[in-house]
Structure 1
């Protein structure tokens, strides 16, 4: 169970004040290059599950760079945002930190992070998936180096499909198809097919997949009050008001969907393959009847990828060494080794050439099969929600508007208009 929670923390799509004004990696030309320096590296809840791996990479780096010592500090997932903000505020920030794009962008907005477009040579930048590298861009600067990735797959209970008279070899591929499956499963079994997680960035990602633009090109105005945005809102409203999804979607998130799926109360789970580890532990009978298909999407065919990054605060007195370590931690060899421990994907494009991501072992498990599905769709996936100013406020306001429409407190048109007005107010500041 401890291992699962560490793995879960890895995938949670994840994380001001005074800072240095330097825009370049610090280089003391007069310093002795043989002088030993220590850099501090913060991760989010990777210890003790991944101690052997992380310490092994650090040992390898220190052997190649005897003048650099790495001090690893593992921070509880729930404490990272508070601790990194406090550290930056007190000018005691680590040299390297593991953050997600949305939270890292808060520090980038304050000009607190090294611009990796300047710190990383072009030949090294080109090794990473282009779209993932660009997802770390804020105001024209790139604030992080991609580390590990995850793409959702559609996991579904073949027995529930069969009980409802549905073809288990033909799972839904789009949200509109899910609606039809949900009607059939509810009518035939009395159970639910789908639990659309509305926490995190899931709602906004779904809207983009269904063709809605969230903002105009320069991110100064909302753009989702459109036919595509209305279609997305209407889908959730119809699912809820026709009792085709659980009432809890308004109060609980992705964790509840996992609980219901492993209890046999839900036919479809849209999630990262890593969550099958929990199902294997808690409900092996459900795992046995689980298959995986490609990520649910809209008519656009867009698929989302979640990314975690390494950032270097400008406060670091050893920026050059910190960037060097970040590139080493995220190189192809080290990423593949990490991916074989936990069901995640590499951000280095060449790492995907490893047969691990394309070939099934003998007697493959549902987890093996889910990994292959996830890996195959990576090249067609992108980070759908770019870093945005005041993101939490924007995310909350659009969820509250949708919630009001689902509860029939206002029409879909009124809900979209309310959210649009709030976004325009926030984006104009």
Structure 2
């Protein structure tokens, strides 16, 4: 009897060991996917380039689909382009109706909102090895919410200063020693105004990601803390409001800065010392034949910081083929895919192994270096919905209706009201 029981125990232990090993293997791969599986995966993308480059963008995504099909020959990948305008509502409406894509594009503040609504599938539950060490740390932080990864990074953006070297020299500046701090920039800005130039652009019709948050961060402040506390009206953050207010009061930025969305023409026409822009701005300068520029770093007050979104592909919680969709996301963010996409769009690739695309492009190499200072925005479920209110308070300040502290306090109140909903 003893030997029979022992035999049963041995067999049971062997079975448990085998089961545990299989479970570990499956976990390491995020769960197995049948490479002979038949399915159609729909991916919603956006116009990441100008109309002139649209055909090349289509080719890049076509190649991504073909690359995936080599591994999964029975899977059809459909790319459908939707416009940037109202994309948030369009996606949420489709997902609420249990429709929409298997894979789509998000940025971090939208990701947090969508994750909070429960419409995304955590991608780290679906994938094993995705080359984690090859992604830079900040890009992975940007796709993470409440300790769960909801996407894999496709692109990184960085905003920084482009200086008109002719105007800079006229003001006694040195293209080889560009401003590093608020004080250094403002000293040049005062000289620019005296000579009849604007110091820089300020496109107040755009979101606070570009018009306020970089200065809050540079001053050592936060909008919402990592543990969800409102900080936009704390003393360091208010310094960001004060900086913008001083620029406007002292005519360092144009009069229409309150609500305009595009000041690049002023820079190209030689009316502004500097332009706060991105790799896309640089591409436009080159297209227009503008050559008198030097690229400067984001500024520092207490710290060097700037805004630069991290674009990602995510998997819909509605997808009937989540594991397969996650494998597609992995393929679309591979080194080969990121090289092709980012070289075309002039974004910074989030994989270290793809950074070589800019080895021969000194300007993009500089922007790639500055990407380490870029924050992806405010990652919180209310961050998108409060942007119009924060923008409105900033505009009221510029109109003289509120002091910087009053504008910050009103913004804090708006955030609290949104959190209370």
Same fold (TM over 0.5): yes
- How do 1:259-278 residues align onto structure 2 when only pairs under 5 Å count? 259-278=265-284
Between the aligned partners of 1:391 and 1:147, the Cα distance in structure 2 is 21
* Map of 2:6 onto structure 1: none
Determine the structure 1 residue equivalent to 2:242: 234
CA distance in 1, matches of 2:227, 2:31: 38
Determine the C-alpha separation between the residues in 2 that align with 1:309 and 1:325: 13
The answer to whether the aligner puts 1:41 opposite 2:43 as a matched pair is yes
1:397 deviates by 2.6
Instruction: Assess, with a 3 A threshold, how the Cα gap between structure 1 residues 71 and 410 changes in structure 2: closer, same or farther.
Output: closer
* CA RMSD, Structure 1 to Structure 2 (Å): 2.4
Question: Does residue 367 of structure 2 align to residue 374 of structure 1?
Answer: yes
**1:384/1:64 Cα in 2 relative to 1: closer, same or farther (>3 Å)?**
closer
- TM-score normalised to structure 1 length: 0.83
Asked if residue 310 in structure 1 is aligned to residue 313 in structure 2, the reply is yes
Query: Do 2:305 and 2:375's aligned partners in 1 also have CA atoms closer than 8 Å?
Result: no
Asked if the contact 1:297/1:303 (under 8 Å) is kept, the reply is: no
Q: 1:320 to 1:392 in 2, by over 3 A?
A: closer
Aligned pairs for 1:342-357 (under 5 A) are: 342-352=345-355, 354=356, 356-357=357-358
Normalised to the residue count of structure 2, the TM-score between the two structures is 0.84
Instruction: Report the count of equivalent residues.
Output: 385
Q: Please list, as runs of the form range in 1=range in 2, the aligned pairs for 1:52-71 lying within 5 A after superposition.
A: 52-71=59-78
**2:416 maps to what in 1?**
424
- CA distance in 1 between counterparts of 2:391 and 2:58 reads 38
- The runs of 5 or more residues in structure 2 that have no matched partner are 1-26, 49-53
Query: Structure 1: which 5+ residue stretches go unaligned?
Result: 1-23, 361-367
Helix, strand or coil: the match of 1:58?
helix
* Conservation of the 8 A alpha-carbon contact between 2:150 and 2:314: yes
Q: Distance in 2 between matches of 1:123 and 1:67?
A: 22
Tell me, yes or no, if structure 1 residue 196 matches structure 2 residue 196. no
In 2, the alpha carbon distance for the partners of 1:272 and 1:88 equals: 32
Alignment partner, residue 294 of structure 1: 297
Native 8 Å contact 1:157 1:268 kept in 2 = yes
- Counterpart Cα distance in 1 of 2:320 and 2:401: 54
Rounded Cα–Cα distance in structure 2 between residues aligned with 1:126 and 1:28: 21
How far off is 1:40 after superposition? 0.8
| Aligned position for 1:409 | 401
**Structure 1, residues 355-392: CA drift from partner, whole Å, max 9, x if none?**
x33x33xxxxxxx33201111223x2342423222223
Cα shift readout 1:83-103 (whole Å, capped 9, x = no counterpart): 312321221121111222222
Residue 104 of structure 1 aligns with which residue? 111
Shift in alpha-carbon separation, 1:342–1:419, aligned structure 2, 3 A: closer
